[in-house]
Amino acid sequence: MGVPEDTKVATASPVSDEAAEVGFVKELPTLRVDGVDPVFEHQARLVNHAVQAIGMGKYQWALFFLCGYGWLCDQASTGPEIDLWQTTVSDALAQVGVEFQPQHSAFLSLALIAGLVVGASFWGLGCDLIGRRLAFNLTLLIAGVFGTAAGAANSFISCAVLVSFCGFGVGGNLPVDSAVFLEFLPGTHQYLLEILAVWWSVGQAIPAGAAWGFLSHYSCSEDTPAGQCQKKDNMGWRYLMYSMGAITLAAFFLRFAIFRLRESPRYLIGQGRYQEAIDVLNDVAKYNGTTQPLTMEDLLQVERDYAVAGHSAAVNRPTAWQRTMAQFKPGGFKHIRALFSTKKVAYSTSLIILVWGMIGLASPLYSNFLPEYLALHGAQAGSSSIAITYRNNFIIIACSIPGTLMAGWFIGLPKIGRRGTLGVALILTAVFQFAFTTARTQASILAFNCVTSFVSYIMWGSLYCYTPEVVPSNHRGTGCGLAAAFNRICGLQAPIIATYVGYNNKPIFVSASLYIVAGFISFIFPYETAGKASL
């Protein structure tokens, strides 16, 4: 974005506020967000121009695979759209309970969700303080090591502790991977952030298939007397943990040993590390077989121009440790405060977090208590055949893929955009939830599940695309982390609410109502990111 009209001076920037031509590709204007440091804002727009000149090449497609792999392991939903590790723990829960006989076996899921909440908050803020690269590699290493170790646990308490540490690592993938992928994407290809949601379907299918094989062949029966289920007879859930741990560690190996992630250039310029930012852009351009126009002199010229106009560049160069310690001093946590720095930004941040929280509560209220509702109304809520159960799961998962792809098209339409796609998808999700309660046979339940899966993935893809786009890059990890953490915290309230209102139709109606309200709130988000490069 250019220098404000009242302080406009000459710069070395080749970019104007209007869309420009980069080669044969039209460059998008950069989204303008209130309260952003003007020096960083202008320099970030120059970086956007450089990334657009580099183009969508091998480096970006490698990130699509690696970040998608991370999203396969982490998804913020606490409802039916759950991730590889949430699915794994859910599938293993019954057999862990049979073997260890805990008073409340559901605490294993609670331990995972607690880890996810802490992980999303910690790594979200952390990647804004110490950079994207370290967090990008460490999150999956932590998840893989502790997830594998949980399979060797000899008590319920040790298993729950290890699972919580696994969640701590997994929970960081959302804010980190979103920031990493978006900040290397040309503005014309930001819709690919939504298409990443396709990996969530894979993240559900893998543990579902593995559980089908392991748990059906290597498990004690659920009616085994207390204390009679031996470890050697109940290895299925352990094999499942080992397998998912290996998959997660493979993702870490690809990230750490095979692909060399460069630090985000926008993160680097935010820290005043201009030469490193230029080196990164040159490396990515070379990797793609292209060139980029930005030089260190261009970035320094922006500082000088704003200084002449009376605006201090205020570029600090503290170490990562100094930045971290500064958070605990008076006036600290600047990345959080920046999300509420002006009325419009505070309004935007508050509405986004509110919508994430409403979805986090609505999703489990619907999915977790739908069987009780259907049984109450005489519906055939399930099948005793494991083969039919897993066949239906795979059909439902398959229906989510076209929903994700369709959302990638909708969010780019000028008259619909991100806000419109999200709002309509939320309201349609509520409509089909109400319709679902009329199902009374397995066939109708499957049909409604498929339609709901299709629509809800349009919703999730839009939300996951819009959120990192609207938060400026120097605070992006913090913003996404707060939203994801609040989503999961609200999800934990679902059992309490369901217990209070009763296991009847009320949780379903509360869920649908929350989706409808969230949909209307989406229409009043103050920023529309469609057709604009993220800051």
CA angle, residues 373, 375, 378, in degrees to nearest 5: 115
Q: If you average pLDDT over residues 393-398, what whole number do you get?
A: 76
Tens digit of each residue's pLDDT (9 = 90 or more) over 167-194 = 898 887 777 888 888 889 998 888 888 8
The letter for the amino acid at 73 is C
Half-sphere exposure of 381 (CA within 13 A, CB side): 13
Between 40-44, 169-173, 330-334, 435-439, the lowest mean confidence (pLDDT) is in 330-334
The more confident residue out of 286 and 412 is 286
Mean pLDDT of the chain: 79
Query: What pLDDT does residue 386 have?
Result: 53
Q: Is the pLDDT of residue 325 over 80?
A: no
Which is higher by pLDDT, 444 or 334?
Answer: 444
DSSP track, 185-235: S-GGGTTHHHHTTHHHHHHHHHHHHHHHHHHTTS---TTPPTT---GGG--
Is pLDDT of 50 > 90?
Answer: yes
Mean pLDDT (whole number) for 381-393: 60
Work out the end-to-end distance of the chain between its first and last CA atoms, rounded to an integer number of angstroms.
9
477: Cβ–Cβ under 8 A, 6 or more apart, which residues?
A: 123, 124, 125, 126, 127, 128, 132, 135, 175, 176, 179, 335
Residue 2 has pLDDT above 90, yes or no: no
Range 58-80 average pLDDT? 74
One-letter identity of residue 504: N
Which H, E and C letters describe 45-81, residue by residue?
HHHHHHHHHHCCCHHHHHHHHHHHHHHHHCCCCCCCC
For residue 127, count other CB atoms closer than 10 A to its CB: 30
What was the pLDDT predicted at 519?
95
Q: Both tokens of residue 173?
A: 């993938």
Q: Which of 97-111, 143-157, 382-396, 410-424 has the lowest average pLDDT?
A: 382-396
Pick the CATH number of 60-261+339-523 from 3.40.47.10, 1.20.1250.20, 3.30.420.40, 3.40.50.980: 1.20.1250.20
Positive/negative CA dihedral, 128, 130, 133, 137: negative
Report the pLDDT value the prediction gives residue 56, as an integer from 0 to 100: 92
Average pLDDT over residues 471-475: 84
Least confident window among 460-474, 495-509, 510-524: 495-509
Q: For 190-249, what is each residue's pLDDT tens digit? A: 888 888 878 877 777 777 777 777 877 888 876 777 777 888 888 888 898 899 889 889
Cα dihedral 66, 161, 494, 419, rounded to 10, equals: -20
CB atoms closer than 10 angstroms to residue 319: 10
**Helices 156-170 and 107-129, interaxial angle, to 10°?**
30
- Residue 147 pLDDT greater than 80, yes or no: yes
Whole-model pTM? 0.78
**Torsion angle defined by CA atoms of residues 55, 56, 62 and 66, in that order, rounded to the nearest 10 degrees:** 110
The burial of 167, by beta-carbon neighbours within 10 Å (0-12 exposed, 13-18 middle, 19 or more buried), is given as buried
Contact 367, 396 (CB under 8 A): no
Rounded to whole angstroms, the Cα distance separating 528 from 499 reads: 39
* 165 confidence band (pLDDT: 50, 70, 90): very high
Confidence bin at 120 (pLDDT 50/70/90): confident
Q: Residue 516's pLDDT is what?
A: 95
